[in-house]
Amino acid sequence: ELKVEQNPLFLSMQEGKNYTIYCNYSTTSDRLYWYRQDPGKSLESLFVLLSNGAVKQEGRLMASLDTKARLSTLHITAAVHDLSATYFCAVDVSGTYKYIFGTGTRLKVLA
């Protein structure tokens, strides 16, 4: 079965703290995506990781990809309230036009 699993599902953290969200996938994939979704809104693209060892950073967020372990991480550095949202990872399933999304991680940053 093609699956993308994220953990944790819920994360409540204090401002200024660091934390990592994990994304494991079971299928062969050429690409790994991270999206952000604010409550009641649509999905916004954050990062696309194209190869093993890829690392992308934007502000307090850094994403990495290990294709051998089929694992991606989204690291949050010195969290601020504005980062509160749901974060999804997704993979592009090789040989198809489909994408599979993870279950999402609901992040709440407390002031």
Partner 1 sequence: EADIYQTPRYLVIGTGKKITLECSQTMGHDKMYWYQQDPGMELHLIHYSYGVNSTEKGDLSSESTVSRIRTEHFPLTLESARPSHTSQYLCASSELGGTKTQYFGPGTRLLVL
Which residue of 31, 56, 75, 108 would you call a contact of partner 1, by CB under 8 A?
31
- Verify binding: residue 45, partner 1, rule CB under 8 A: yes
Q: What is the CA radius of gyration of the chain?
A: 13
Chain centroid, CA 42 distance in Å? 16
Which residue of 44, 53, 57, 82 would you call a contact of partner 1, by CB under 8 A?
44
Q: Is the peptide bond before 8 cis (omega within 30 degrees of 0)?
A: yes
Task: Considering only the stretches 16-24, 53-61, 68-76, 97-105, report the one whose residues sit in contact with partner 1 under the rule CB under 8 A.
Answer: 97-105
Q: Is the distance from CB of 23 to CB of 32 less than 8 angstroms?
A: yes
Which residue of 13, 19, 27, 43 would you call a contact of partner 1, by CB under 8 A?
43
